[in-house]
Amino acid sequence: MKSFLSLLAFAPAAFAAFGVETSGSSMVVDSGDALVFTVSTKSGDITSIKYSGTELQDKSKFTQLSSGLGSADVTSTVDSGVAVVTISTNIITHYYIVREGENTIYIGTNASEEPEVGELRFIARLNKDAVPNGIPESEVDGGSVVEGSDVFEIDGETRSKFYSSVRHIEDNVHGVTGDGVGVYMVIPATSYEKSSGGPFHRDINNQGTAQQELYWYMNSNHEQTEAYRTGFFGPYAMAVTSGDAPSADLDMSFIEDLGLDGYVASSDRGSVSGTYSGTLDGLDVTIGFSNSDAQYWASASGGKFTRDAMLPGTYNVTLFQGELEAGTGSVTISAGGSASVDLESSLEIPETVWSIGTVDGTPAGFLNADKIEKMHPSDSRMGAWGPVTFTIGTDDESAFPMAQFQAVNDPTTISWSAGSGDIGERTLRIRTTSSFASGRPKITVNKWSSDTPAAPAKIDSRGVTRGTWRGNNQVYDYVIPDGTLVAGDNTIEISVVSGSSGETFLSPNVVYDSLELI
Ligand SMILES: *[C@@H]1O[C@H](CO)[C@@H](O)[C@H](O)[C@H]1NC(C)=O
Ligand SMILES: *[C@@H]1O[C@H](CO)[C@@H](O)[C@H](O)[C@H]1NC(C)=O
């Protein structure tokens, strides 16, 4: 009796034994430190996440893959200080891995097919009392619907889970916090290899409802420009801390020795280095690599780049000036090998009579471009959309609308007083970064009208109203015949045309990158 009481006095430490215990349908994984979580052996859902005794898991909705696997085979192993929980269905093998003494759940998801729901995501539905602080723009609890079932209004501000999204090239750590606790997803850059959409694709990270939802979207149709990939997604992690964000350089190399389905070890990977030239000064340069099996990226500077840990195969290589494709190449990666590729921008840098915006595949600098990633275009905090008349030589680019919606701010009119040396045959080059409902620009210059350009490839998704401009970049060249432009006042009207229609901000639309008169 005496020894039992003295054991109790040390209860938290004494009972924090690393390992996995299963009773009934509950598989309890104890990190041996502050984290203890429970996996349902029926569904693979995480039903409890305790940190120093505080319950972080919402009890009405659990933590799971996609919207839950329904039923799954759940097994565990414990070996040399590493516990592995394996959750499998006929198409998915999902792993939760814990190292003794660490409050981090390392995760890997091998998918041999896209789940029927059409998106592959990890979602932690957390106890909002314990972790009340998410991304403020994604707190939607109690809001009224503005669009779809995913954009809301609260106290006159639009909110959406889409406003938690971050470009994947920058999205390596994101999380939610509470008093003395933080829960963070950690995604190393290489772990996006089976996702889709390239370095500038963005996806949902958080939503505050009755739960605090924390996500890592592996793929979805949220303005997706590429086909989905299959295979081993990750490794990624959900780290629980006393509040601070963990480093993005979380060492996941120990996973290499665990023999996980679909996992490709570093010895079976290769690297590439190379050079680039010809991009505009002052813009970020990114190198993208893609084939049907994998995707990668590297930030480049000073004319050079390197990228390691790639799966063997032949890749299309893209040189991005900002977010705009400026050059292409091809490279073949072999296991253990180091390849090289030299890239050159093939973008013409024309001499312009005037230009509006920067040729960078983004609407940066234009009206409302600084707000669109965090609010709906109908938000009262947005600058008035117009229709805008933009005067060359007078107006700043911040007066030019970042997007044009057929039913809201159409047409955009450019007013230009031309000198006699500036007229004659000219080309107006309009670059756009996305299009919704087959919208594309058509122009009227004084009394002359252009043809209607062919519809761009359609993306099966809402676009800019979901807080992103990242669709397919398009370039439209309109050759304005000699005799159209006059010395003196000219009017150029840009309209969005489409065979489709829609209301307000869901009418056919385009997002502008830049305009150049050449
Ligand atoms: C893991 O994914 C690969 C690639 O899609 C697939 O061939 C393999 O069957 C998967 N393994 C399991 C056990 O599902
Ligand atoms: C490279 O891109 C071209 C054009 O989109 C495509 O046809 C080809 O399959 C791609 N190659 C690889 C290796 O993905």
289-316 pLDDT per residue, tens: 999 999 999 999 999 999 999 999 999 9
- Topology given in CATH for the domain delimited by 59-257: Beta-galactosidase; Chain A, domain 5 (2.70.98)
Residue ranges, CATH 2.60.40.1120, the chain: 266-344
Structure tokens at 397: 């680019």
Q: Which two tokens stand for residue 198?
A: 């390239």
- Classified as helix, coil or strand, 2 is helix
Q: How far is the CA of 230 from the centre of ligand 1 (A)?
A: 8
The alpha-carbon radius of gyration of the chain (Å, integer) is 26
Q: Which two tokens stand for residue 385?
A: 């959309």
Nearest CA to ligand 2 atom 14: 291
Q: What is the b/e burial string over 362-377, where b = at least 16 CB atoms within 10 angstroms of the residue's CB? A: bbbbbbbbebbbbbbb
Which helix (H) or strand (E) element contains residue 95? Answer: strand 92-99
Look-up of token digits 């008093």: 179
Residue 413: HSE in the Cβ half-sphere, 13 Å Cα cutoff: 9
* Cα of 338 from ligand 2 centre, angstroms: 21
110 close to ligand 1 (CB < 6 Angstrom): yes
Closest ligand, as measured to the CA of 325: 2
Q: Give dist(CA 329, CA 259) in Å, integer.
A: 34
For residue 283, report the distance from its CA to the centre of ligand 2, in Å. 26
Pairing of strands 412-418, 389-391: parallel
pLDDT tens readout for residues 233-272: 999 999 999 999 999 999 999 999 999 999 999 999 999 9
Q: Whose CA is nearest to atom 12 of ligand 2?
A: 291
* DSSP sequence for 42-77: TT--EEEEEETTEE-B-SSS-BEETT--SS-EEEEE
Q: Which of 375, 406, 403, 402 is nearest to 504 (CA)?
A: 406
pLDDT given for residue 103 in this prediction: 98
Under DSSP, the state recorded for 375 is: S
Query: With the CA atoms of 479, 481, 482 and 488 taken in that order, what torsion angle do they form, in degrees rounded to the nearest 10?
Result: -80
Predicted confidence pLDDT, tens digits, the chain (518 residues): 344 444 444 444 445 699 999 999 999 999 999 999 999 999 999 999 999 999 999 999 999 999 999 999 999 999 999 999 999 999 999 999 999 999 999 999 999 998 888 799 999 999 999 999 999 999 999 999 999 999 999 999 999 999 999 999 999 999 999 999 999 999 999 999 999 999 999 999 999 999 999 999 999 999 999 999 999 999 999 999 999 999 999 999 999 999 999 999 999 999 999 999 999 999 999 999 999 999 999 999 999 999 999 999 999 999 999 999 999 999 999 999 999 999 999 999 999 999 999 999 999 999 999 999 999 999 999 999 999 999 999 999 999 999 999 999 999 999 999 999 999 999 999 999 999 999 999 999 999 999 999 999 999 889 999 999 999 999 999 999 999 999 999 999 999 999 999 999 999 999 999 999 99
What are the residue ranges of CATH 2.70.98.10 in the chain?
59-257
Instruction: CATH 2.60.120.260 in the chain: give the residue spans.
Output: 354-517
Question: Residues near 384 by Cβ (< 8 Å), separated by ≥ 6?
Answer: none
Specify the CATH number of the domain 354-517: 2.60.120.260
Does residue 312 line the site of ligand 1, with CB under 6 A?
A: no
- The strand pair at 144-147 and 82-88 is best described as unpaired
Contact indicator for 512, 468 with CB cutoff of 8 Å: no
> Is the CB of 316 inside a 6 Å radius of any atom of ligand 2?
yes
Take residue 413 and report the two structure tokens written for it: 């009119």
What is the Å distance from ligand 1's center to 411 Cα?
51
Q: What is the whole-number distance in angstroms between the Cα of residue 93 and the centre of ligand 1?
A: 8
Question: Using CA atoms, how far apart are residues 398 and 404, in angstroms rounded to an integer?
Answer: 14
In this structure, the number of other CB atoms found within 10 A of the CB of residue 8 comes to 10
CB 29 within 8 A of CB 85: yes
Spelled out in words, what is the top-level CATH class assigned to the domain 266-344?
mainly beta
Could you give phi then psi for residue 50, rounded to 5 degrees?
A: -105, 135
Cα 128 to Cα 206: distance, rounded to the nearest angstrom: 12
Pocket flag, ligand 2, residue 291 (CB < 6 Å)? yes
Pairing of strands 338-344, 270-277: parallel
Give the integer Cα–Cα distance in Å for 68 and 352: 55
CB atoms within 10 A of CB 291: 14
